[in-house]
Structure formats: structure tokens, C-alpha cells
Amino acid sequence: MSAPDDILILLAAGSAQRMQATVDDKITAPLAGLPVFLHSLKTFQATGLISRVVITYRNEEQKARMLTMLAAHTNGDLRIDFVPGGDSRQDSVLAALTACEGHTGLVHIHDGARPLVTAEAIRKVREKAHEMGGAILAGRAADTVKIAKEHSASVGSSPDRALVWTAETPQVFRTSIVLKAYRKVSELGRKVTDDSSAVEFVGQDVALVENPSVNLKLTRPADFVLAEAILKTR
């Protein structure tokens, strides 16, 4: 295997608003013996693909906690840089990508609150991104999706479920492509909620890679119970 050259951007600057005050910081909360963010970081490291990690953080207190946890649970052989997060996910990603400017390889953008991602899924989406310039991990919609009418809670349309996918992370791109895309949407004041949306906006195709494994994002207190149960089966 060639020397690792990919960068991992691990997003950790988000709030825990939907945790109903049960968890102050879901990123550093304990889960099955490790802080949440370290589950995915260790999985990425185990792939042998990553040469550098860029972690966005909410405030200096959170950064200090993460540094302490990294010292306790890693051996220090991976370069890890910290970048202050912004007011939104979009702002945080742009700040992290700017710190990667000049990198000619692939960048994996991953939500720190998704601790269940597998090495197999990471390799699959990375392989497709290497081929096409961009790819995202995603799942086929299991439920029928409804599009509401504008400014209304009534149904406007029902898209064909066979065409509906739910976006996950990691989302993997050539660094130059995704950085250019984020700068363009920022310049135009366009809001995006995931990285693919920015890349799509500048006309770049993005491949969908189906994830056969559960890859939930910790959003509500019950998610911790489910995630812990799943981790115990692995």
C-alpha cells in the first residue's frame, strides 16, 4: 500500500440542542468506553488512508477536553490540527478546508457525531471518489418521503422512493474541488447543509455509495442507547 495522503476533516463544533440537556457536548460524551469522536477517528486511522486530521471545535474548553482525550487514547503518531468552527456547519467546513489549501489528494468530511462508520464503508466511498472526484456515503430511503408545500404543513408532492437517498458522511472529494465549491457558495450567500450540495452547485457530479451498515448521527438521547448496543455487537 502506498503512503497515506488523505485528509480527514472531523466536524466537532456543532451544538447539542436536541439532546434535551442530557448531554452538554455529545462529541466528547462517553460511548462504549471511548469519547464519541474517537470512535470514528480510530476507524479512519485503521484504514491506513489518513495522513492528517483537521478537527473543528466549538470553543477552547471543548478543544482542551479533546486534547486530553486524544493524549489518553491515541499514540500521537497521526498529525492532528484544530480549527475553530463557525456559526454553522457550512462555516466550519469552509474553515477546515481553507486549512487544507494546496493539498492535492482526497479529503474525507465526517460528522464527529457519527461514531458507527465502518472501515469498509470508508474504503468504498473513497474508491468511488478517487474515480469520480466526489462521492458520498448514503442510504436508500426506507420510508415514503413527502415534500411540503411552501409555507405550509400540507403535502405538496411525493417523490418516487426508488430515487430517494439519505445523505450520510463521510463525503469524500478532491480537496481542490470541494474547496472551490465552498468558496463559491459562500461568495454567493447560498446556504448548504452538506458538502455534496456545494459541489453539485458548481456542476460536479457526486457518486452515491450505498452504506449497508447503520451509520446514525447522535441527535437525541435515545441514539446513545442504540449506538452502544450496536457497538457491542461488533
Give the tens place of pLDDT for each residue, 88-127.
999 999 999 999 999 999 999 999 999 999 999 999 999 9
Is position 97 within any domain?
yes
CB 106 within 8 Å of CB 198: no
* Beta strand 106-111 pairing with 6-11: parallel
Answer yes or no: is 144 within a domain. no
Inside any domain, residue 155: no
Asked if the structure places residue 227 within a domain, the reply is yes
**pTM for this entry:** 0.95
150 part of a folded domain: no
Domain that holds residue 84: 6-138+170-232
Task: Tell me the C-alpha distance between 38 and 177, whole Å.
Answer: 28
Asked, for residue 199, whether it belongs to a domain, the answer is: yes
Q: Is the pLDDT of residue 1 over 90?
A: no
Q: How far is CA 74 from the centre of its chain?
A: 21
Given a contact cutoff of 8 angstroms between Cβ atoms, the answer to whether 89 and 14 are in contact is yes
Among 34-38, 63-67, 151-155, the least confident range:
151-155
C-alpha cell at 22: 442530557
Location of C-alpha cell 442530557: 22
Look at residue 145 and tell me if it is in a domain.
no
CA–CA distances in Å: residue 83 to residues 25, 57, 62 = 17, 6, 12
Q: Is residue 143 part of a domain?
A: no
Based on the structure, what is the number of domains in the chain? 1
**In which residue are the cell numbers 436508500 written?**
140
CATH code at position 31: 3.90.550.10
